[in-house]
Amino acid sequence: MYRRYGVKRRSLVTAVAAGTPAAIVLASCSQGSSSGGQDAGVVTLNGDRADFTDAYELAGAELEKITGYAIEPRNVPSTENYQQVVRSSLQTSSTTDLVKWWNGYRLQDLARSGGLADLSGQWDSAAEKGWVNPETRDSFSYDGKVYGIPMYKSYWVIFYNRLVFDEVGIAAPTTWDEFEDNNAKLRDAGVTPLFATQEAGWTSSIWFAEILSKLDPQFYTDLTAGEAKYTDATAQEAMRIWAGMYAEGYFTAADVAWDSEPSLLASGEVAQVPMGTWRNGTFAEAGLGEGEYSAFLLPPFDPATAPSVIVESGSISVAEKAPNKEAALETMANWLDPAVQRPWVENIKDTSANPQVTTDDPVLETVLEAVSEQEPTELVRYWEASPPALIEGGVQHLGAFMADPTESNIMPTLENLQSLADDEWARWDAGS
Amino acid sequence: MTLLEKPRAEAGEDRPRPRPGLPLSTRDRLSAIPFLIGAVALVGALLLVPFIATVYQSLTRDNGFTSTFIGFENYLNLLENPTFGRSVLNTLMWTVGTLILPVGVGLLIAVLTNSVPGGRWLKYVFVLPYALSGTATAVIWGFILRSDGALNQAIEFFGGEASTSGWLLSWPTNTIVMIVASTWQATGVTVILFMIGLQAIPKEVVQAGELDGASGPRLFWHIILPQLRPVTVVVIGMSIANSLRVFDLIWLLTKGGPGASSETLAVTMYRQTFILSDYGTGAAVAVVLSVIIVGASWFYLRHQLKRG
């Protein structure tokens, strides 16, 4: 009896132990409750931004006047779970009609699976009406066809606390030297000049991309497209500038909570944060009133270098197997209509991808004025500019550099990045 | 095991049972099947089928859309990946750490609070964190351990020099402080189990030891500790399983970073599957982790049951 009980118990332990990790992996394959099932008069839209729900409904109300179809938003709060839900449901009939996604290589990754509908007609018609910048077509395309319509247009700028700037007696910089000078004055006044953290993972790419793009925008484009190497002299120079700024004591600690960024800017503990304009609303919510904060475009490292700005666009795609596909295509044909975009961007407090739609938000106005004055080259954000696996692995190496931002760590970091880039570009080109 | 075995053997004498060596009749075997169906179906559907599917998935290149059979390539890639080696090393550190700390500290607290006045209440201080979820524990320790957190502020307040490299930013410090955070949370249950074990020790045995002149550490080492063996078997078994599957605390405190330096196998499995969408490699890590958990559990239980 003893032996038999012993064997059974061991078998159970074996089964439980073996099954647990396996069940975790397989649980991912469930499609989630946020897809499928709907009324005929609406198109469903799945996304990972619960804070956009009201804005989706406002835009949907305008769309209903034009197309007869409103938007029924659904949300998966975690971005990681959301990507999982879309990957497993996109090729089935239980997908939502519209899917929020990212542009660039992330969109290509989804488009080449065959799960997205061709939106070239809708894009061309919007471009003809002047509703979208035709130069951005490539970052929404795969193999010459358009698969996403821009959701918004976020410029990557430096937000700053005006009260702190006034107190220290400095103004928004127009050259890199002024920027460095400001940082030194802020540090000497006991304020941390710049926010930087690797705590949220992806955030470690922000300063690398900002410095590199201001040093040489063309090299930034080549590097992210796999046509230049991380070990090239320009990338080394960008890392040296970054390490130098760390040595000067300009940055926050590398493990500061990403969530604390708005409150640190609002309290004046940190004077400047590099961020997409999509976070504009969060700074206002953190207690910064009108006139208490503003934003500037980070100047080029060398005044002779052409100005550039990193731009980020969420995208909306139509599922190839959308239950209400015709309505979804019609919705996308009208998404960039100024009547739809106005209430949409007013609610999300960001800028529209439709250049005809203006904003009355003072901070965004300042950004748009700077853009129209400097006419900077628009660059795709690092996060979307290379194959996803390369970026996800790359931010780990950059995060490790931020934890040890020394001169001696520059080459090991860049060599790791290049080795990763070699592997991931080969995998991407092989189509896996 | 000796104590548990005896009543079972005695109870068995009261009812008829097949004589040893005589096989069960086919009818007896068939009549047992309906009683097994429920349990077999549950274990099969929830554990065995997912496990077999995961083993198959680990032999494929799978990006969530398409899947190609590639044999053992994922496993070979793992062996060449330095991140995976670090992940195995961290998992080993967690296993050793959670064997020494929660078990050792739990035993110490249980013994000390058992013998001091007011100890009954004092032990709740140590037991309370066990009521917190892993997520809440991570949030609290995040406030303590970050460079701008409570620990560095306290060090500076008392005139010390705060860690410039950050508690969570360099290996192996980040793994060690997270093991300490996990100990803070997990010690509660070991204290409870050891308390139960201590209360179950017959007073006569302790008194007999005292009469023979044993006291202090000698009494503890030779009289009390051997009596706690059955509880210790359970506590160590639980600690091994808990340490191998640790995830929430690491994910919320460091996301396995910086640069994958604090990843354990459970974190690597999650990152490969959900962040990199490399389902084949994620499944291969899951299989490796399963083999380690099963191997460790099997070795430990077999060893303990034999001794029992």
Chain B residues within an 8 Å CB radius of A12: 43
* Contact assessment for residue A120 and residue A137, using Cβ atoms and an 8 Å cutoff: no
> Does residue B267 sit within a domain?
yes
pLDDT of residue A2: 37
The minimum CA-CA distance between B130 and chain A, rounded to whole Å, is 22
Q: Which of B8, B168, B245 sits opposite A255 (nearest CB)?
A: B168
Range of the domain at B199: 82-307
Chain A contact present for B162, CB below 8 A: no
Secondary structure of residue B61 in the 3-state scheme? strand
Task: State both tokens at B29.
Answer: 């075997």
Of A422, A242, A178, A255, the C-alpha closest to B141 is A255
**Regions of chain A where pLDDT drops below 70:** 1-39, 432
Express each pLDDT in B50-63 by its tens digit. Answer: 999 999 999 999 88
Indicate which CATH number applies to the domain containing B196.
1.10.3720.10
Residue B270 has pLDDT above 80, yes or no: yes
Chosen from A2, A5, A10, A20 to mutate, greatest number of chain B CBs within 10 A: A20
CA A172/CA A180 separation, integer angstroms: 11
Q: Cα dihedral sign for A143, A148, A152, A157?
A: negative
User: What structural domains and CATH numbers belong to chain A?
Assistant: 42-153+313-355 (3.40.190.10), 155-311+382-429 (3.40.190.10)
Task: Identify the residue with better confidence: A394 or B99.
Answer: A394
* Contact assessment for residue B87 and residue B264, using Cβ atoms and an 8 Å cutoff: yes
Chain A contact present for B101, CB below 8 A: no
**Angle between helix A205-215 and A388-403 (nearest 10):** 100
pLDDT of residue B17: 55
* Contact assessment for residue A32 and residue A81, using Cβ atoms and an 8 Å cutoff: yes
The answer to whether the CB atoms of B54 and A20 lie below 8 A apart is no
> Does residue B220 sit within a domain?
yes
B31 band by pLDDT with thresholds 50, 70 and 90? confident
Residue B208 has pLDDT above 60, yes or no: yes
Chain B contact present for A28, CB below 8 A: yes
> Does residue B2 sit within a domain?
no
Chain B residues within an 8 Å CB radius of A16: 47
What's the structural domain count of chain B?
1
pLDDT of residue B28: 83
The answer to whether the CB atoms of B294 and A18 lie below 8 A apart is yes
pLDDT of residue B74: 95
Chain B contact present for A23, CB below 8 A: yes
Chain B residues within an 8 Å CB radius of A21: 54, 245, 266, 269, 286-287, 289-290, 293
* Contact assessment for residue A156 and residue A274, using Cβ atoms and an 8 Å cutoff: yes
Of A210, A172, A175, the C-alpha closest to A294 is A172
The answer to whether the CB atoms of B276 and A16 lie below 8 A apart is no
pLDDT of residue B277: 86
Express each pLDDT in B132-181 by its tens digit. Answer: 888 899 999 999 999 888 999 899 888 888 776 789 999 999 999 999 99
Q: How far is CA A344 from CA A43, A95, A206, A284, B301, in A?
A: 17, 24, 26, 18, 61
pLDDT of residue A371: 93
SS (H, E, C) chain A: CHHHHHHHHHHHHHHHHHHHHHHHHHHCCCCCCCCCCCCCCEEEEEECCHHHHHHHHHHHHHHHHHHCCEEEEEECCCHHHHHHHHHHHCCCCCCCCEEEEECHHHHHHHHCCCCECCCHHHHHHHHHCCCCCHHHHHHHEECCEECCEECCEEEEEEEEEHHHHHHHCCCCCCCHHHHHHHHHHHHHCCCEEECCCCCCCHHHHHHHHHHHHHHCHHHHHHHHCCCCCCCCHHHHHHHHHHHHHHHCCCECCCCCCHHHHHHHHHHCCEEEEEEEHHHHHHHHHCCCCCCCEEEECCCCCCCCCCCEEEEECEEEEEECCCCCHHHHHHHHHHCCCHHHHHHHHHHHCCECCCCCCCCCCHHHHHHHHHHHHHCCEEEECHHHHCCHHHHHHHHHHHHHHHHCCCHHHHHHHHHHHHHHHHHHHHHHHCCC
Chosen from B15, B73, B178, B289 to mutate, greatest number of chain A CBs within 10 A: B289
Q: Which residue of A has its CA nearest to B253?
A: A199
Chain B residues within an 8 Å CB radius of A403: 165-166, 169-170, 257-259
pLDDT of residue A380: 94
- How many A/B residue pairs have CB atoms within 8 Å? 164
Chain A contact present for B280, CB below 8 A: no
Chain A residues within an 8 Å CB radius of B273: 25, 28
> Does residue B54 sit within a domain?
no
Q: Which of A10, A24, A400 sits opposite B261 (nearest CB)?
A: A400
The minimum CA-CA distance between A223 and chain B, rounded to whole Å, is 21
Q: Which of A20, A25, A392 sits opposite B283 (nearest CB)?
A: A25
Instruction: Cis check for the bond before A376: say yes or no (omega within 30 of 0).
Output: no
B 124-143 → A contacts, CB under 8 A: 142
Chain A contact present for B166, CB below 8 A: yes
> Does residue B4 sit within a domain?
no
The answer to whether the CB atoms of A22 and B278 lie below 8 A apart is no
The answer to whether the CB atoms of A87 and B277 lie below 8 A apart is yes
* Contact assessment for residue B85 and residue B171, using Cβ atoms and an 8 Å cutoff: no
Secondary structure of residue B249 in the 3-state scheme? helix
Chain A contact present for B19, CB below 8 A: no
A 404-423 → B contacts, CB under 8 A: 404
Express each pLDDT in B240-266 by its tens digit. Answer: 888 888 899 999 999 998 989 999 999
List all residues 6 or more positions away from A380 whose beta carbon is below 8 Å from its beta carbon. A103, A104, A139, A224, A310, A311, A312
B 52-81 → A contacts, CB under 8 A: 53-55, 57, 61, 63-66, 68
Chain B residues within an 8 Å CB radius of A254: 147, 166, 169, 258
% of chain A exceeding 90 in pLDDT? 75
Q: Which of B57, B282, B294 sits opposite A14 (nearest CB)?
A: B294
The answer to whether the CB atoms of A21 and B259 lie below 8 A apart is no
> Does residue B19 sit within a domain?
no
Q: How many Cα atoms sit within 13 Å of A5 on the Cβ side?
A: 9
Chain B contact present for A247, CB below 8 A: no
> Does residue B97 sit within a domain?
yes
Chain B contact present for A198, CB below 8 A: yes
Chain B contact present for A106, CB below 8 A: no
Chosen from B270, B275, B306 to mutate, greatest number of chain A CBs within 10 A: B275
> Does residue B261 sit within a domain?
yes
pLDDT of residue B32: 86
CA A351/CA A157 separation, integer angstroms: 13
Q: Which of B275, B278, B286 sits opposite A22 (nearest CB)?
A: B286
CA A413/CA A420 separation, integer angstroms: 11
CA A402/CA A409 separation, integer angstroms: 10
The answer to whether the CB atoms of B260 and A396 lie below 8 A apart is yes
Chain A contact present for B281, CB below 8 A: no
The answer to whether the CB atoms of B259 and A18 lie below 8 A apart is no
Q: Which residue of B has its CA nearest to A16?
A: B47
Q: How many residues does chain B have?
A: 308
Chain B contact present for A255, CB below 8 A: yes
CA A292/CA B5 separation, integer angstroms: 75
Query: By mean pLDDT, which of A47-51, B71-75, B162-166, B208-212 is the weakest?
Result: B162-166
Chain B contact present for A196, CB below 8 A: no
pLDDT of residue A432: 53
pLDDT of residue A23: 45
Chain B residues within an 8 Å CB radius of A9: 301
Chain B residues within an 8 Å CB radius of A22: 47, 50-51, 53-55, 283, 286-287, 290
The mean pLDDT value for B21-26 works out to 68
Chain B residues within an 8 Å CB radius of A25: 50, 54, 57, 269, 273, 279, 282-283, 286
